[in-house]
Amino acid sequence: MGWNNILLEKENEIAVLTINRPDVLNALDAETLQEIGTAMDQLDNDNEVRVVILTGAGSKAFVAGADIAYMQKLTPMEAKNFSRIGQKAFSKIENLSKPVIAAINGFALGGGCELAMACDIRIASDNAKLGQPEVSLGINAGFGATQRLPRLVNPGIAKEMLFTGDYFSAERAKSIGLVNDVVPAAELMKYCMNMAKRIAARAPIAVQLTKEAINDGLEMDLEKGFIHEADIFGVAFSTEDRDEGFASYLDKRKPEFKGK
């Protein structure tokens, strides 16, 4: 389908979704958020895709935040609805049945930082800046940062980031666990693509079940999480990929996983 604000491309088993509003540093308005959500639905149903990379157009910004010119006109009720549109779109990323890697190629501020948080793995270019500057505009974060950030990093660090609105360098973001790694800007997409290829080579159902176990387990106490993991472990043993994985190991050959 045609998109106004995103690009969606596929290279074999890897999809690349690019937020494509470089004239406003890829800022998010309602239409862009809705397109992201629709794209996630499409990717969820695409059996050829095993991994998704999410990035921003241009060299300056991943996503510089929500579109301030758009938000300036919102009434309180419209602002609440805008928040829910963003939260629902990002939850589709978080709950997608395949891993999503954020390639953070510049500013990831406000809604952009929240977009990255919804991804499974975050890789930043060495010139990236991450932050939640909403309080400097007289508002609070509205696309999930107050909930996801304290779960991803130390709650005190999350509060520092949200209370001060300060920008964190890519290296500081790595030191607090907000990003997995920092690489030179020129190597960012190659690095993310290589990681995506390694994941895509694994058994796709097993990867999907692993993501499910982690996401669900974060909302459970430890013992319930163990039980849930065991249930999922049993499901994995019902797949053809499990048979292929064991057979290829014993035969000392490369597995050929079918996602069945």
Among 134, 219, 223, 229, which one carries the catalytic annotation?
134
Catalytic residue among 13, 35, 114, 229: 114
Q: In what order do the strands lie in the sheet with 121-125?
A: 6-11, 14-19, 51-56, 100-104, 121-125, 181-183
Residues in contact with 79: Cβ distance below 8 Å, sequence separation at least 6, in sequence order: 71, 139, 142
Say whether 78 is catalytic: no
Using alpha carbons, list the distances in angstroms from residue 85 to 34, 66, 107, 109, 164: 7, 12, 22, 18, 25
Determine the residue type at 90. Answer: F
CB of 141 closer than 8 Å to CB of 114? yes
CA gap 212, 161 in Å, rounded: 28
* Cβ pair 42, 78 in contact under 8 A: no
256 is catalytic: no
- Residues serving a catalytic function are 114, 134
